[in-house]
A = this chain, B = another copy of it.
Amino acid sequence: MDMSGAPGTGERLVVIGGDAAGMSAASQARRLRGPEELEIVAFERGHFTSYSACGIPYWVGGDVPERDLLVARTPEEHRARGIDLRLRTEVTDIDVAGGRVRARDVDSGAESWTSYDRLVIATGARPVRPGLPGMDAPGVHGVQTLDDGQALLDTLARARGRRAVVVGAGYIGVEMAEALINRGYEVTVVNRGREPMSTLDPDMGRLVHEAMRGMGITMVNDTEVTGLRTGGDGRVRAVVTRDAEYPADVVVLGIGVRPETSLAAAAGLPLGDHGGLLTDRAMRVRGHENIWAGGDCVEVLDLVSGQQRYMPLGTHANKHGQVIGANAGGGYATFPGVVGTAVSKVCDLEIARTGLREKDARRAGLRFVTVTVESTSRAGYYPGASPMTVKMLAEQRTGRLLGVQIVGREGAGKRVDVAAVALTAGLTVERMTALDLGYAPPFSPVWDPVLVAARKAAGAVEQQR
C-alpha cells in the first residue's frame, strides 16, 4: 500500500453507515492514520455496528443462540479504536459543494451539520416492500437488520399457530424457510418466478424446488402476492394471491433489496441503471475526488460480462470497506469487480452459482454452450458420497468459462470457488480439464465434478466449431 499522499494533519473523514462497508473503511483508515492525523466520524441510524446480516436466518432458526454473536465489532470497540461513532444518528443531507453532511439524532430530532474532508457513503440497501394491503400488519417481517430479526423472534415466541409463509424464494427466502422449519413451522414459500432461486437458471432452480418439496416445504411458484389478510386484532392471517389464500401465523418477506441511495441521489451523485452508486476501481464515486462508496449501495463491475451489476453481499461490502479505508487513509488499493459468486443452503441442500446464467450471457451478447453433469462429492465408494449436479456455460469459439451452477448436498457449495477463480483468470474450459485439484477418496472422485463438467463443456465447444 502506497503511503504517500497522506492526508494532512487535522483532516476529517466522515462515514455514513455503521455496518460492514462503512466500519471496515473506518477501521482500515484508522489503521493507516492515527487520530492526530485523521479524525474519523461515523454515523449510524440504528443500534448496532459491524454485524452479520447474513447470519440472521441462523439466529432466527436457532443455530446461532444469541444476537450478540452476530456482532463482529461493537460500538464500544470501534470507539476504543479512536472512531467517533454516533449511533441512532441519521444523515439526512449531503452538501457536496459545501463538504458537509447534516445529521439528525433519531431520538431527540436535533439536527446539526458536520464538515468533512473525505466522505464514505455506505448506506446499504433497503428491502423491497410492495405497497399491498396488510403489508405493514403485525406478524409481517423483513429480516434485513438485527432489529428485524429480534422482532420476528418476538412474533414467533408469541405466535399461536405454526403456519409460516415466506414471500420470495431467493437466498433469503430459502434460508428463512429452513429457519422456520427448524422452529417447527409448516412452511409455504410463495414465489413470483418459475422456480425458486432465480439466481440460477430455471432447470437448476427446478432441482432446488424438488429438494424443498422433499423437505416438506410447500412451494408455490409463478404466483404474485396480491395482499395480506388480517384478522380482527389487526394481525396477519393469510397471504393472498390471485387464486388462493395461504393461512399464516407469521409472514416473512424475502423479496430482495434495492440500493439505499436516496441521500446520494438528492446530492446529485451518479447512479447506475440498477440504482446503485457508480464508482471507479478505487471505490471513489465517479467524478468526486474525496467521496467513496461501497457495500450494498453501489453497483459493481461484472468481470465476466463487462457490465455493471447490483450484487449486495456482505463479502463484497467488507472488501469495499478495506479498499476505501486504504484509499481514504492515504494508501492505495482497488476492487477489480465481481464474477457473481453466491452460495446458500436450505437444510442439507447446498446451492451455488458464479458467473453468468443463460439469460445473462444472452443479454451480454455472448453465444455459449451449456452442459449439465451429475457427479458425487466424494469417491462413489466412500461413505457420505452425495450426488451433485453441475451446470456449466462456456463461450462458443473461445471456450472461455462463463458460469457455473451447482446443486447438491454436503461438499457441493464451496466447489463453486474453483469456477470463481477460473472466471477471474479467464480460463477456457479446455484448460480447466487439466486443473490440478485436490483428490483423495474422502474429498472428491478422481475426476472432480467441476472437471467432469469442464470436460463435457470442452467437448461441446469443440462440436460447435
Contact = CB atoms under 8 A, between A and B. Distances in A.
Interface string A127-163: 0000000000000000000000000000000000000
A25 interface: no
**Looking at A342, A379, A415, A441, which has the most chain B CB atoms within 10 Å of its CB?**
A441
A340 B334 CA distance: 30
- For the complex formed by this chain, how many copies does it contain in all? 2
A436 B382 contact: no
A381 to B, nearest CB: 4
A255 to B, nearest CB: 19
Interface stretch (A76-84, A217-225, A235-243, A311-319): A311-319
A438 B354 contact: yes
A69 B381 contact: yes
A462 B318 contact: no
Nearest to A355: B436
A352 B442 CA distance: 13
18 contacts: A52-B381, A52-B446, A58-B382, A315-B439, A319-B433, A319-B434, A322-B433, A339-B436, A341-B437, A341-B438, A343-B438, A350-B443, A414-B438, A414-B444, A415-B417, A424-B425, A424-B431, A425-B425
B54 A439 contact: yes
A352 B439 CA distance: 10
Interface residues of A, number: 71
Interface string A387-418: 00000000000000000000000010111111
A263 interface: no
A113 interface: no
A246 interface: no
A375 to B, nearest CB: 14
A131 to B, nearest CB: 30
**Looking at A52, A421, A462, which has the most chain B CB atoms within 10 Å of its CB?**
A421
